[in-house]
Structure 1
């Protein structure tokens, strides 16, 4: 039991959970607890059950069956029986874990859990991460070379992008020793995951070998490390505040101004670039990759075009601005239009509306008589935008109209009998334009 506790562990745990409920959860809210069947989540389940009278809420339970352990079915059965005994609704999700995930099995399992948690129709998701977990997470992040945001480890309250629920971790100030004490005081049963003893996993090595040694030489190390994570969270919040201040003049829409970026000191510029990437919901690249990106963006000539692969996204410098864009889609054969009101263009990743209009757009009779297809540029395309004018290369038109290079690769195009007749954002083939009073077809990209 932690030295700071002056009363039984079960009361100490209940006090921490009740405090979280009082500050973050309105009465009669919908709560879902992630229950593995292990010590931590079992104690949290019983604590929540005991608090329902003084703070009413609707409680459900979710169990993720990873199938990685030969005992996984037994754990699911244990959770089923436990929830049935307390008349709590339980949902079990069985998932397939990719054992060849480049980030490892632990990361693959975590991704599957988060995918399920994101889709839960509930107000709050409770997980049983505790003080020792927080200390281990901080050490793991420190050994990865993380900055303040990574060293902040786990937040007590978190609104994740794409999640319906607010994620709450009410036990972050509770040591595992207190959870064990609470379980023994109440005579609770739980299951043990044998993989927690496997020190081939880095977290287990920290838990089984490093943390006991630290506690031997630095009493209260877990509590101290957890407090350090809280301080790092404060520092990360201040950096976010600074980035938002710098972004006021530097970021407009989806564009980060290069001049504003390079006017900052290197640490502030790096912080702003990190903020810009996070705004787009992207995984942060390593510090070395981030610094190399900043160098290329800052040192390039004013008219230079820079393209950097960040994994899920590409970062471009174009006409004095920095942009993030999805990588080019794989080549897909053009699709044929058969008169429908809208057509999906796989190569462009967009849907094109085909509205009927009088005296504008392309001649309906010509399109109806020919073979109309949609796709993206392959090179060598030409278009006549004005009657009697020259046929100009699409390449030059894209440059003249200021279409960003990452959009040029996926710009939807329309052909009639193999002849380019429309380019989104640029215009129509003048020779096929509908005359006043003539039935026309007006294509445009659906929002």
Structure 2
């Protein structure tokens, strides 16, 4: 945009936010300070239900406490509700920047807001493209940052929306707005450290390119817009293919094999992403795709878990699978939160809950049935059988197998567990 940044220009390019709660991610830097100020000035005309500010304390800089205090004071001066949350950065093989970003997004997903507004601007967009290019990024990475995208809520159904309202504006316009409105802000001196690749791109690479090609920014932004259109088309195709390969809400090897190799690869990417198993390496993905085209069984190791092929279906096993399932760790005398009864038995209060073992037997109207054998007959994969929830009487005998069957003494009572449906073909 050639004109300076103003409240009217800012508001004109926003989506319809009437009746919405917008939470501004406030770091204290000039970009987020300006973003919060713009929203505060436009709040009434935008007809927001609520406007709030969120500061994330990363603990990576000696001045982090002062930055949080500054943000609290600034939000207070605008009469905007403010919260701060601290995170512990655990790299787990990621770079410090990527790990910090991951931690931030986990906090965003916990917020009770409709939109999380982020202060990325036009210069950030160009830097993001070059970072992706230098790292050999895919179409998704090269298309940089979308103005809006959904973020699944943590521990709740639905999504909130990440919104980047400053993408049409340059860093120069934002700084000029701050000066015109006499806005104070903090400065992170790590931005001057060229050892970080993004800083090197901003401080050294881009000035050299602009010398040779002054219109570099306009050309590159046009390319990014084109890439984003192509990415949107690809996302539509991916969504259609994902539905096509589902059978009984599970990833079907047989249906996956009907796709072209390129689309097969995209489906494996989707599988890893949807199940939060971490991004696969290109070589790992290609090797498993080759195996999946011909084998009847197989396993794929990923950064945060693994995928297992069993009876035509691909199952996800995250490293933390079952971490919150209390019946896995010890026998429970109360019904765990993840379990429920359909037609509860009269003596439900006397039942205990635990994970199945190879020795468990269920007494049915047609005789005794080994629980693991019963799970096998229902095509539950071997790795999931020791995770299976069962109900036991006071003598420790199995009287119900979750989602499968109950003993004759329980009548129509059925133990249910939505979490275990993912392992039922």
What stretches of structure 2 of length at least 5 have no aligned partner?
419-425
- Which residue matches 2:261? 266
- Which residue matches 2:71? 79
- Aligned with residue 399 of structure 1, among 376, 384, 402: 376
Structure 1: how far apart are the matches of 2:249 and 2:269? 14
Kept in 1, the 8 Å contact 2:277–2:303? The answer is no
Structure 2: how far apart are the matches of 1:249 and 1:311? 27
Name the Cα RMSD after superposition. 3.4
Deviation at 1:204, TM superposition (A): 1.8
- Aligned with residue 298 of structure 2, among 290, 301, 306: 306
Deviation at 1:325, TM superposition (A): 4.4
Deviation at 1:394, TM superposition (A): 4.2
Structure 2: how far apart are the matches of 1:355 and 1:257? 33
Structure 1: how far apart are the matches of 2:399 and 2:17? 59
TM normalised by structure 2 equals 0.81
- Aligned with residue 191 of structure 1, among 186, 211, 216: 186
Kept in 2, the 8 Å contact 1:398–1:408? The answer is yes
Deviation at 1:155, TM superposition (A): 1.2
- Aligned with residue 389 of structure 2, among 384, 392, 412: 412
- Aligned with residue 145 of structure 2, among 147, 154, 159: 154
| Structure with larger RCO (C-alpha < 8 A, sep 6+) | 1
Of 146-155 and 62-71, deviating more is 62-71
C-alpha change, 1:188 and 1:379, in structure 2 (3 Å) is same
C-alpha change, 1:192 and 1:114, in structure 2 (3 Å) is same
- Which residue matches 1:122? 113
Of 414-423 and 284-293, deviating more is 414-423
Counterpart secondary structure, 2:5: helix
- Aligned with residue 20 of structure 1, among 13, 25, 29: 13
- Aligned with residue 210 of structure 2, among 201, 210, 215: 215
Kept in 1, the 8 Å contact 2:400–2:415? The answer is no
1:62 to 2:54 alignment = yes
Structure 2: how far apart are the matches of 1:28 and 1:246? 35
1:239 to 2:243 alignment = no
Deviation at 1:288, TM superposition (A): 2.5
Deviation at 1:267, TM superposition (A): 0.6
Deviation at 1:192, TM superposition (A): 0.9
- Aligned with residue 93 of structure 1, among 84, 91, 98: 84
Kept in 1, the 8 Å contact 2:355–2:387? The answer is yes
Of 323-332 and 143-152, deviating more is 323-332
Kept in 1, the 8 Å contact 2:403–2:414? The answer is no
Structure 2: how far apart are the matches of 1:116 and 1:265? 38
Structure 1: how far apart are the matches of 2:267 and 2:411? 48
Bigger radius of gyration, 1 or 2?
1
Of 325-334 and 123-132, deviating more is 325-334
What stretches of structure 1 of length at least 5 have no aligned partner?
359-363
C-alpha change, 1:291 and 1:46, in structure 2 (3 Å) is same
Deviation at 1:422, TM superposition (A): 4.4
Per-residue CA distance 1:403-445 (angstroms, 9 max, x = gap): 233432311234554555544455456xxx43xxxx8794512
- Aligned with residue 331 of structure 2, among 330, 335, 352: 335
Structure 2: how far apart are the matches of 1:227 and 1:297? 39
C-alpha change, 1:203 and 1:313, in structure 2 (3 Å) is same
- Which residue matches 2:288? 293
